[in-house]
Chain A
Amino acid sequence: AQSVTQLDSHVSVSEGTPVLLRCNYSSSYSPSLFWYVQHPNKGLQLLLKYTSAATLVKGINGFEAEFKKSETSFHLTKPSAHMSDAAEYFCVVSDPFGSSNTGKLIFGQGTTLQVKP
């Protein structure tokens, strides 16, 4: 069975400092992994995705994530936080070759990123 654990429910950084949002996954096969962002009163926007190609994935707004199979991790990073990055971030796993084959997503609990001036 697939699962996702986001290790921090809340992360606070100062503007201009690096961001690290941690995610560990469990999957019985080669997973697809995603990070989605949700700004207040907005929908879910795809930041980036990993689909068994390059292990370092670049996304929008300067975010990137590295797939580490040995550590079953997919941490999200950004070198320099901006005030507009304040939002809820979800790590998500999908098993595209799984038995259900419907592509459903399993969400982590979410990490609230606070960016201080």
Chain B
Amino acid sequence: EPEVTQTPSHQVTQMGQEVILRCVPISNHLYFYWYRQILGQKVEFLVSFYNNEISEKSEIFDDQFSVERPDGSNFTLKIRSTKLEDSAMYFCASSDWGRLSGNTIYFGEGSWLTVV
């Protein structure tokens, strides 16, 4: 079964450093997403991406964050100047966004980011 893959599975970074989280969505999907889950809290929507541009972003997704689809297969989340509160599990997801199919979104296994 096709799956969304994410790298790295775990990254530790120092506060103020830049981090790039990478994702390979399912190949025929057109919509891509990043979500995050701070330890002990609910999963939160960060951003959705379609047709090479951001289609929606949450209040969390400020200028510190950016997304890119650099080569037609990868989908990256960049966090500039990381803060302690950015420590979380970051999930990449993708969907073929069929209105009649009800938009099933498939998630990767997540990337644990620890900012120290």
Contact = CB atoms under 8 A, between A and B. Distances in A.
Interface in A91-117: 94, 96-97, 100-110
Nearest to B97: A103
A94 B45 contact: no
Interface stretch (A11-19, A21-29, A41-49, A73-81): A41-49
Contacts of B31: 102-103
Interface string B69-91: 00000000000000000000001
How large, as a class, is the contact surface on chain B? 20 to 34
B50 A43 contact: no
B66 interface: no
B95 A103 contact: yes
A47 to B, nearest CB: 11
A100 B31 CA distance: 13
A97 B48 contact: no
Interface of B: 31, 33, 35, 42-45, 48, 50, 55-56, 91, 95, 97, 99-110
29 contacts: A32-B102, A32-B103, A34-B104, A43-B107, A44-B91, A44-B110, A45-B107, A46-B105, A49-B104, A50-B102, A51-B100, A90-B42, A96-B99, A96-B103, A97-B99, A100-B56, A102-B55, A103-B31, A103-B48, A103-B97, A103-B103, A104-B33, A104-B48, A104-B56, A105-B43, A105-B45, A107-B43, A108-B42, A110-B43
